[in-house]
Structure 1
Amino acid sequence: MAVHSSLFVTNQINKKELEFLESYPEFLYWSALIVRLQDDLGTSSEELKRGDVAKSIQCYMHENGVSEEAARRHIKNVVREAWKMLNVQRLRGGASPLSQAVSGSLLNLVRGAHCFYQHGDGHGSQNHLTKHHALSLLFDPIPLYNFTS
């Protein structure tokens, strides 16, 4: 996703940026970790019912002998810590050859994944909660109040 994103937000392909992305910098590591774990938090139960492989939650449960609730709390904590590290990497942007457009685009991909899977499977679920939230953000008017009267 990162490479595709970098290609779509700029008019020119910057070899230095692509080489940096290929080196798998910490910025990408923390981004990928957040996306993966948020997906697991939102979809693991349904995917297991369909016969999919164990996710991070089930692996943590098995390795540590804890309940699903405890495993989910742990994974959510890992996501919080990964966000902290990602923010640190973002603030250190001077050491990165990524343009603001590319790094901003990558960060928005992570934000999107966090939003999609925050309350379950916002991508494949039939409850349309995430779709409703997205549509309301984009198309529902925000009431403006006149505070001067």
Structure 2
Amino acid sequence: MTSGDARSRQQNAPADEFESCAAEHLALEHVDPADRALHDAGVSAEFWDDDDGQVAREADADMQTCLDALVAALTARWGEPLAVDLLLYLRAGVEGETVSEPINSLSQMAGSIELWPHQSSGRRLGLAIGQEDKELPLELLAAVGDRSGPNGT
């Protein structure tokens, strides 16, 4: 491979990575726009036998690569996402407040979400990496919903 080929490959890397992640993980074409749900866009292996954490770190790096590629593609299409800290929602749920879905489930699995609001419909699409417990799989999550929750976010 020549150095020109290597530069060309690096410049195409985000698009190639998005295509790979989209083909492997993301099935958003099956998401009903009227749905208010949390969808698994990718799931790693479980980590029951990962005593040193190496398998989990590798899976996290793979999920982060896919998330970054998807965020880049959606940002190119819809603009910069809102970075939303989910701790507010987790606290609200723990304190007995009603937190609507999918944000309630998401706040129990992830610390933050990249969120793209659709201005005319009030609907939102969010992407995050979550995990229910350290032995359970990492999940690349796609959340679809409307404006609801603390502070309207």
Normalised-by-shorter TM-score class: under 0.3
Q: Which has the higher contact order (CA 8 A, sep 6+)?
A: 1
Structure with the larger helix share: 1
TM-score, normalising length: structure 2? 0.27
Larger Rg computed on CA atoms: 1
